[in-house]
Amino acid sequence: MTTPHSPLPNPDVGAEGDDVIIRIRGLVNQFGEQRVHDGLDLDVRRGEILGVVGGSGTGKSVMMRSILGLRRPDAGEIEVLGIDARSPDPRLRREIERNTGVLFQDGALFSSLTVGENVQVPLKEYHGELPDSLRYELALLKVKLSGLPADAIDKLPSQLSGGMRKRAGLARALALDPPLLFLDEPTAGLDPIGAAAFDRLIRTLQQALGLTVFLITHDLDTLYAICDRIAVLADKKVVACAPIEDVERLDHPWVQEYFHGPRARAAQVTRARNLRDADAAGA
């Protein structure tokens, strides 16, 4: 699959032997006259953090919604954990839902519920048989796992900072121990230190829990710090899906502008420094 600009096609698609957890083929999404995706292919491998980038309006969120079954595509195939995401069968839909955690951009917490009650929403839906005290304990575990202090569990979202609300959203996304985690702009609105801490948290949780992470971001620091591969959306398709070092070299105008501007250089310097520090700490 090549594009007029792309010497680096989406090389993994169809590769033999990969443990693919999300498989998209020929995806088409259209709103009226506007075609957002036109024959988009993508494989997400088990255990990776896949960063999804692309200009504004290129259809990153629409792709995520299609994978989650929140939008029915106009054409194409999507398999999540081997299940057809387009299936109207509610049991299959539920199976996908039970195995995926989602952190939406705004956290999407219920404002009238405490953090603990928010985290317990999916637990109640899928494990209604559990006693209240155990559900509370499970919620507390997820709250702590997400890096919040234990007393945050009884607070309302409005009593938390933006960064803490993201962590509360993450705690809820992890409530059912899903193997697959979707993050939509997780560091948007955080200051650089808060964003770096959130990146580290995602990496730590991904490694500790063996998660596969589908991460939409504009944040170059996040891409350099924690993503195993980057999928680039442009021209209504995924024009490349590869480690960042390979994507940087892609001969595509948007990629060149994005990965070779001043912000990208700053992110590269930060990564080089972090790698050096990590080497020194390991030496």
**Is the Cβ of residue 119 or residue 231 nearer to ligand ATP in the bound state?**
231
What is the per-residue binding string for ligand ATP in 48-67, x denoting contact by CB under 6 A? Answer: ------x-xxxxxxx-----
CB of 54 or CB of 116, closer to ligand ATP: 54
Min. distance of Cβ 122 from ligand ATP in angstroms?
Answer: 24
Q: Smallest gap, in angstroms, from Cβ of residue 257 to ligand ATP?
A: 15
CB-count exposure of residue 169 (10 Å: 0-12, 13-18, 19+): buried
Q: Considering the complex, what minimum distance in angstroms separates the CB of residue 60 from ligand ATP? A: 4
Report whether 204 contacts 181 (CB < 8 A).
Answer: no
Q: 3-class SS at 108?
A: coil
Closer residue to ligand ATP in complex, CB, 31/110: 31
Closest to ligand ATP by CB, 30 vs 87, is 30
Report yes or no: 80 and 63 within 8 Å, Cβ to Cβ: no
- Verify binding: residue 31, ligand ATP, rule CB under 6 A: yes
Is residue 103 within 8 A of residue 170, CB to CB? The reply is: yes
Q: How far is the CB of 62 from ligand ATP (least distance, A)?
A: 4
Shortest spacing between CB 219 and ligand ATP, in angstroms: 12
Tell me how far, at minimum, the Cβ of 55 lies from ligand ATP, in Å. 7
| Orientation angle between helical segments 132-145 and 162-173, nearest 10 degrees | 130
Ramachandran region of residue 176, left (φ > 0), alpha (ψ -120 to 50) or beta? alpha
Residue 3 in contact with ligand ATP, rule: CB under 6 A: no
Choose, by CB under 6 A, the member of 8, 24, 36, 180 that binds ligand ATP: 36
Q: Which residues make beta-bridge pairs with 23?
A: 43, 79
Residue 53 or 140: the one with the smaller Cβ distance to ligand ATP is 53
Q: Residue 18 or 74: which CB sits closer to ligand ATP?
A: 74
d(CA 141, CA 123): 13
Q: Using the minimum distance from each CB to ligand ATP, give the nearer residue, 28 or 92.
A: 28
Residue type, 162: G
C-alpha distances in Å from residue 75, one per residue of 66, 130, 170, 209, 269: 11, 40, 31, 34, 42
What's the burial of 84, exposed, middle or buried (CB within 10 Å: 0-12/13-18/19+)? middle
How big is the site for ligand ATP, counted in residues (CB under 6 A)? Answer: 10
Nearest-approach distance from CB 216 to ligand ATP, in angstroms: 7
Distance between CA atoms of residues 135 and 248, nearest Å: 45
Which residues would be at the binding site for ligand ATP (CB under 6 A)? 31, 36, 54, 56-62
